[in-house]
């Protein structure tokens, strides 16, 4: 629920701050997310596997990041130099980056049937995000205001307190070398073709997906849409529906079928956005926004569960950290840089949203073809899986 208050409106908030070269600052701020994901989650995942209980690391991640986030939005509200916001927000990103990976590790370690139960647990986060979007737009009227960040701080502190009561998740691995301590042992799992292809495609797909929160709210604003955070929240409604049925779908359909379906939805999303750019009609944006949750669940959540089942229990924390590094780190890093350049030559230069979204649709189509050709879905050694293969 916490990021749902401020993340969908972050671009419009920065552009409303009055900073010089606000578009450049948007790119730099969004670049902090992948940089943080590159530096911290894999190492923290290794600590959770081998040294420190995951719930303790998660508590400290929540509380410390909440403090830095409060400072960042306070600097913004007081009109201080942009660098003060940037530095405080950077500290928040670096401390908070491993939090979601740690919470996922805790959940998957204690659920009796992860394929069936985890999507339902994950759905609670989606509902929280929706409620945050509705509150910030319809109740508090915080669109484009720093108070949305303060609301996120309050929820982050509440999460930290709640995690103090999370089930104990002790380290399960044994560190034998500096590679183990840093989490680099997870890289040897890439020798298996299915894991390698899924990891690389996930990394590539994360590049265009970064545009959803980086530039979709701006496009809505350019189309004169009021309360863009409220409309962005509809992207989570389809995620709720997908979470409800994904366990059943994983038992009925092949993993490759689901992953391909998720990528098809990603392509459709950008096609609809491009049509909105062509027609200047917001009606094309709405179905593209609403399908976002299906894209995320059917590709990224299914992929996450697939990796969890295929990796030994002592390596799961590192594997989730490696996945986070590949998607939220490397993929989002190159995606942010590429999107900033693409935005500059299309939207900033001539208000050409259509070309911006068509390029992303074509790139995602390439990922779809890559997955279709390369992913073989080798049968796992474990006989516990109920997936249809």
Which CATH number characterizes residue 37's domain? 1.20.1250.20
What lies within 8 Å, CB to CB, of 160 at 6+ separation is 58, 59, 62, 63, 66
pLDDT given for residue 387 in this prediction: 42
Alpha-carbon distance 256 to 8, whole Å? 31
User: Is residue 215 domain-resident?
Assistant: yes
pLDDT given for residue 341 in this prediction: 94
Of residues 195, 179, 208, the one with CA closest to residue 42: 179
pLDDT tens digits, one per residue of 191-220: 888 888 999 999 999 999 999 989 999 999
Of residues 79, 56, 51, 42, the one with CA closest to residue 316: 42
User: Is residue 387 domain-resident?
Assistant: no
pLDDT given for residue 273 in this prediction: 97
Q: Per-residue b/e over 28-58, b at no fewer than 16 CB within 10 Å?
A: bbbbbbbbbbbbbbbbbbbbbbbebbbbbbb
What lies within 8 Å, CB to CB, of 374 at 6+ separation is 193, 197, 201
User: Is residue 313 domain-resident?
Assistant: yes
Extended strands (E) in the chain: none
User: Is residue 385 domain-resident?
Assistant: no
Q: For 340, how many CA atoms within 13 A lie in the half-sphere containing its CB?
A: 18
Mean pLDDT along residues 92-121: 82
pTM of this prediction?
0.78
User: Is residue 179 domain-resident?
Assistant: no
User: Is residue 180 domain-resident?
Assistant: no
How many independent structural domains does the chain possess?
Answer: 1
pLDDT tens digits, one per residue of 255-268: 899 999 999 999 99
User: Is residue 21 domain-resident?
Assistant: yes
CB count in 10 Å sphere of residue 389: 10
Alpha-carbon distance 222 to 216, whole Å? 10
Phi-psi map region of 168: left, alpha, beta (phi>0 left; psi -120 to 50 alpha): beta
pLDDT given for residue 382 in this prediction: 41
pLDDT given for residue 309 in this prediction: 78
């Amino acid at each position: 629920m916490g990021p749902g208050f401020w993340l969908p409106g972050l671009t419009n908030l920065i552009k409303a701050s009055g900073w010089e070269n606000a578009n450049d600052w948007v790119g730099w701020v969004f670049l902090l997310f992948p940089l943080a994901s590159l530096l911290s989650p894999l190492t923290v995942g290794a600590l959770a596997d081998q040294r420190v209980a995951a719930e303790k690391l998660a508590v400290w991640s929540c509380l410390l990041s909440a403090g830095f986030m409060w400072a960042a939005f306070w600097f913004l509200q007081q009109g201080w130099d942009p660098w003060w916001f940037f530095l405080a927000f950077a500290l928040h990103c670096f401390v908070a980056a491993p939090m979601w990976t740690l919470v996922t590790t805790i959940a998957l370690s204690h659920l009796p049937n992860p394929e069936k139960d985890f999507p339902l647990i994950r759905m609670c986060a989606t509902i929280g995000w929706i409620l945050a979007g509705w509150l910030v737009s319809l109740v508090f009227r915080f669109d484009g205001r720093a108070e949305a960040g303060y609301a996120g701080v309050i929820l982050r502190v509440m999460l930290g307190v709640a995690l103090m009561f999370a089930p104990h998740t002790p380290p399960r691995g044994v560190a034998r070398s500096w590679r183990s301590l840093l989490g680099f042992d997870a890289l040897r799992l890439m020798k298996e073709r299915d894991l390698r292809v899924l990891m690389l495609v996930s990394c590539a797909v994360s590049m265009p997906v970064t545009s959803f929160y980086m530039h979709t709210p701006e496009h809505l604003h350019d189309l004169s849409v009021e309360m863009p955070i409220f409309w962005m929240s509809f992207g989570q409604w389809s995620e709720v529906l997908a979470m409800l049925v994904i366990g059943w779908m994983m038992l009925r359909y092949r993993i490759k079928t689901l992953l391909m379906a998720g990528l098809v939805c990603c392509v459709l999303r950008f096609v609809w956005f491009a049509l909105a750019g062509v027609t200047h009609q917001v009606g094309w944006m709405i179905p593209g926004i609403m399908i976002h949750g299906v894209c995320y669940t059917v590709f990224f959540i299914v992929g996450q569960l697939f990796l969890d089942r295929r990796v030994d229990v002592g390596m799961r924390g590192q594997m989730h950290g490696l996945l986070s590094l590949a998607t939220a780190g490397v993929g989002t890093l190159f995606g942010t840089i590429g999107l900033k350049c693409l935005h500059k030559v299309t939207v900033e230069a001539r208000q050409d949203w259509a070309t911006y979204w068509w390029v992303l649709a074509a790139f995602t189509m390439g990922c779809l073809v890559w997955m279709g050709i390369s992913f073989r879905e080798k049968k796992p050694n474990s006989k516990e899986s109920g997936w249809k293969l």
